[in-house]
Structure 1
Amino acid sequence: MDLKNNLYEILFGAIQEGLILVNDKGVIVELNKTGNFMFGYTGDELVGQKIEVLVPTSARGGHEQHRTNYNAHPTARSMGSALKLDGVRKDGSEFPVQVSLNPFENKNGQKYVVALVSDVTERRENEQNLLKLRESLEQKVKERTQELRESERLYKSIARNFPSGVISIFDSSFKYLFAEGQGLYELGIETSDLIGLDYLDRIDPRAKKQVKEELDEVFKGESKNFEVKVGERTYSINAVPLSDEGNEVDKILVVEKNITAQKEVSKKLEETLNKERELTEMKSRFVSMASHEFRTPLSTINSSASLIKKYHERESFDKIVKHADRIKNSVRNLTAILNDFLSFEKLEANKVNVNFDDCSLPQLLLESFDEMVDMTKPEQNIIYKGPKELIIPTDGQLLKNTMLNMLSNAVKYSRAKGEIIVSLEETPDNIVISIQDFGLGIPLADQKNLFTRFFRAGNVTNIEGTGLGLNIVLRYLDLLKGEISFKSKEGEGTIFFITLPKQN
């Protein structure tokens, strides 16, 4: 029995919770050292006092009623885990506690309750801190959710108003996860209708292969920026990979924009720039050519005029006629050069007016022959082969200018005592004027550039000319809805074919 009492005292004193023995009247019968220490008492100060002395003043009245009810139906139970209970120390300070109640009855029939009291101040603080943390997290989550919603609304608003294009997100099988942009609304497509559909099914068959190959590279982690042309439309596509938490690309973001209008503007700007470059180059070549072409006839005129004066003083009249002819030829060459420049300037400025009217082609050709008489070389003959009458609707002045240019070349690049044959033929739909000479001919390597501005074949650089004549002829014939072609062999001569429609 003594052993049991000793064991009881050891356990009673060693337990780390407050252990308080209360009788059925609520009087404290015994408590351990931990209980005393917990509530700030020493020795037997609490023995004989009501248990309510350890309850905060505000809760004592209610506690007595709870104790009476408990004694009527005593059971083992824990208090303070769900309810917040406080104890009061001797100095009046309060602290949170958890209480476990265990009723028992001794062999004499006396009823007691053992209260196991734990100081849960630290746990209560942790709970409060946890509650504050949870409230803080909930607030942050709420704020973050609001921010995300605002960001989503802002992003959708931006995407929805993306001009002339579409912003989309696709999964690895090219299914739509997101799509917005004015480009969809212009086509009358609701974005919700696209979710889950295959993006490639919407691509024009002409561009599908290119788009798929480019986007396959994006799924490999490479950003892409490329253009797709579909008929008359051009699209710019920018695509970037989107990675998951494992840094694996499982989605891509694609921005499509219709840049057809920008391309047109860019093309027009480039054409304008090219025209400016051509104009600058043309001016440079004109200055270079003019300084050369004008110098020779002007020098001839100057020297011949001086010689005429001397021959007149010596009465060498035969030589005066020779130099007078040289002056006339030089003036004629200058006039031809100036005419070429004036014609070219009008064509460049689109100032050439075209007036179609009935025109007798044989009469026009014979008039052109008469105007060439002073330019032909000695014993050079222009021969006409064709009908005496043939009338078509055309612009007679432009056609005569064309013929004068062609005849001038034939005369210039043919030998003296030679023939130039002009033929006129009629087909069911067209008429063909051919101009054949038996002169220098055109080198094969130069033939592809023959109608280029300022171009001159390599075998005629020592003969006066601007290099504009055939370019002017080509442009005149374009206004007349005609065409020009040629056959030539160097050293044997050239034949040009001018084709004009019989009806406009």
Structure 2
Amino acid sequence: MPDNEVLKVIKEQGFKAFFDYASIGIIMVNSRLEILLANQFAGKIFGYESSELLGERIDILIPGRFHTAHESHREKYLINPQNRPMGLGEDLFGKRKDGSEFPVEISLGPYKLNGDVYIISFISDITVRKSNEDSIVKLNEELERKVLARTEDLDDAIKKLQRQVKETEAARVELTKSLDKEKELNTLKSRFVSMASHEFRTPLSTITSSAYLLQKYVTTEDQPKREKHLERIFTSVNTLNDILEDFLSVGKIEEGKTAVKYLELNIVDILQGLINQISPILKKNQNIVYVHHGPELINTDPALLKHIVINLISNAIKFSNENSTIEIKSINTDESWFLHIQDQGIGISETDQRNLYERFFRGNNASHIQGTGLGLHIVAKYVQLMKGEIVCHSMVDKGSEFVVSFPNKIVH
């Protein structure tokens, strides 16, 4: 049907008023995309008089970059014409008479007459809506940026607070440690005063009384008595010296001034020499039995080892009765070497063994025997410095055995 007849039919069917007064742009094209009808609102949207559009191809209202795609969409639409919005999921743009572009929203509807298909387009200028949407998007983006910035600020504040909490907790822990250390020092001072007054009293009294008696022995016949009291003075002085040496050793250990210096030495020679050195303090009919198993060369610190051995043997002598035997055994293997010192003395209770290496600790059954309570503490510290271990096996009235082990492979 000719286009003019189509327009006549449309007008006769009463569509003219709808076209003229609709508040949406309406354009009808034929299958060749030629504009047959455009209402006043459509002309206003695109900057034309509606009459200017008649007979023109719809392409004049479409930006040039979309012409090819629009032609393809037209062909597909004519194959299956139906009512639907145009450009689903895509932004659509129209072109005004002055060449400017603007966003549009278009719905398509087919109109069939005598076998021919005509396309009616309903067009809305959505510039304002798009502007509002863009403003909302920008507002949301700005809001997201502000929220993100606030979140980052909050994260920073939380991290700062966490650091402050950690620092406060660390300061509290450090203060608690300092207070505990101060309490410990006060306790140690009290123990030291108590121990010193007790341990110093006996040798000082001996020195005083012997010195007084020496003044009385002036004749040749009194020489044996003078020698006896001189020996007592020398012994008491040595006792005081040993006590002071223990104090100095503890001080050096706690200040980290005790260094380990390894040398390759003969363990049999070392132990035999130390046994000979300490033999003069053996009680009546006490004896020491020493055996060795394995290679004789070891790596050790001779000064620290001497202190360990002398202390353990002197304890074995001190806490054992007359007519007893002290057994010493050294064993050298590929990985480690061991020192066993066993006595037949008063023994140590299980309760006391838990605190055996604490400073100033004295066993309940040893309070009547002279000692500072520092010896085993120093021994344990020296063993630790030499990467070794010390173990005590003991029963009350059955004697004690101390086993010290050291690695043969030195770890510096």
Which residue of 278, 301, 305 corresponds with 2:211?
A: 305
Secondary structure of 2:315's counterpart equals helix
Would you say the 8 A contact 1:165–1:258 is kept in 2? no
Secondary structure of 2:235's counterpart equals helix
Task: Give the match for residue 241 of structure 1.
Answer: none
Residue 331 of structure 1, CA deviation: 1.8
Residue 386 of structure 1, CA deviation: 0.9
Task: Give the match for residue 267 of structure 2.
Answer: 361
| Structure in which a larger fraction of residues adopt strand | 1
Q: How does 1:14-53 map to 2 (within 5 A)?
A: none
Inter-CA distance 158–376: structure 2 relative to 1 (3 Å threshold): farther
Would you say the 8 A contact 1:441–1:489 is kept in 2? yes
Q: How does 1:54-453 map to 2 (within 5 A)?
A: 160-162=152-154, 166=158, 259-313=165-219, 315-387=221-293, 390-453=296-359
Task: Give the match for residue 476 of structure 1.
Answer: 382
Task: Give the match for residue 487 of structure 1.
Answer: 393
Inter-CA distance 426–467: structure 2 relative to 1 (3 Å threshold): same
Inter-CA distance 281–481: structure 2 relative to 1 (3 Å threshold): same
TM-score, with normalisation over the residues of structure 1?
0.48
Would you say the 8 A contact 2:391–2:403 is kept in 1? yes
Secondary structure of 1:372's counterpart equals helix
Q: Distance in 2 between matches of 1:304 and 1:155?
A: 91
Q: Distance in 1 between matches of 2:146 and 2:209?
A: 86
**What is the letter of the counterpart of residue 290 of structure 1?**
A
Q: Distance in 2 between matches of 1:365 and 1:383?
A: 11
Task: Give the match for residue 94 of structure 2.
Answer: none
Residue 412 of structure 1, CA deviation: 1.3
Which residue of 451, 457, 465 corresponds with 2:371?
A: 465
Q: Distance in 1 between matches of 2:266 and 2:304?
A: 14
Q: Distance in 1 between matches of 2:216 and 2:238?
A: 24
Inter-CA distance 154–481: structure 2 relative to 1 (3 Å threshold): same
Residue 389 of structure 1, CA deviation: 5.3
Provide Cα deviations, 1:223-253, integer angstroms capped at 9, x if missing partner: xxxxxxxxxxxxx9xxxxxxxxxxxxxxxxx
Number of corresponding residues:
267
| Structure 2 unaligned blocks of 5 or more | 1-144
Q: Distance in 1 between matches of 2:379 and 2:306?
A: 11
Task: Give the match for residue 10 of structure 1.
Answer: none
**What is the letter of the counterpart of residue 180 of structure 2?**
N
**What is the letter of the counterpart of residue 448 of structure 1?**
R
Q: Distance in 2 between matches of 1:257 and 1:282?
A: 36
Inter-CA distance 263–474: structure 2 relative to 1 (3 Å threshold): same
**What is the letter of the counterpart of residue 312 of structure 2?**
M
Residue 490 of structure 1, CA deviation: 1.1
Provide Cα deviations, 1:380-437, integer angstroms capped at 9, x if missing partner: 2222111485222221111111111111211211122322111101344211101111
Provide Cα deviations, 1:59-88, integer angstroms capped at 9, x if missing partner: xxxxxxxxxxxxxxxxxxxxxxxxxxxxxx
Q: Distance in 2 between matches of 1:482 and 1:348?
A: 18
Q: Distance in 2 between matches of 1:483 and 1:369?
A: 22
Q: Distance in 2 between matches of 1:413 and 1:443?
A: 14
Residue 476 of structure 1, CA deviation: 0.4
**What is the letter of the counterpart of residue 253 of structure 2?**
L
Residue 162 of structure 1, CA deviation: 4.5
Inter-CA distance 272–317: structure 2 relative to 1 (3 Å threshold): same
Would you say the 8 A contact 2:295–2:332 is kept in 1? no
Secondary structure of 1:386's counterpart equals strand
Residue 291 of structure 1, CA deviation: 1.6
Tell me which moved more, 156-165 or 435-444. 156-165
**What is the letter of the counterpart of residue 153 of structure 2?**
N
Provide Cα deviations, 1:154-195, integer angstroms capped at 9, x if missing partner: 9997764357664xxxxxxxxxxxxxxx58xxxxxxxxxxxx
Residue 272 of structure 1, CA deviation: 3.4
Task: Give the match for residue 36 of structure 2.
Answer: none
Give the share of equivalent positions with the same residue, in percent: 39
Inter-CA distance 334–155: structure 2 relative to 1 (3 Å threshold): farther
Would you say the 8 A contact 1:392–1:503 is kept in 2? no
Would you say the 8 A contact 2:294–2:331 is kept in 1? no
Tell me which moved more, 436-445 or 487-496. 436-445
| Structure 1 unaligned blocks of 5 or more | 1-152, 167-181, 184-235, 237-255
**What is the letter of the counterpart of residue 453 of structure 1?**
R
Secondary structure of 2:215's counterpart equals helix
**What is the letter of the counterpart of residue 300 of structure 2?**
T
Q: Distance in 1 between matches of 2:375 and 2:405?
A: 18
Q: Distance in 1 between matches of 2:378 and 2:285?
A: 29
Would you say the 8 A contact 2:298–2:408 is kept in 1? yes
Residue 376 of structure 1, CA deviation: 2.4
Provide Cα deviations, 1:469-495, integer angstroms capped at 9, x if missing partner: 111111101100000001111112111
Task: Give the match for residue 408 of structure 2.
Answer: 502
Q: Distance in 1 between matches of 2:178 and 2:266?
A: 41
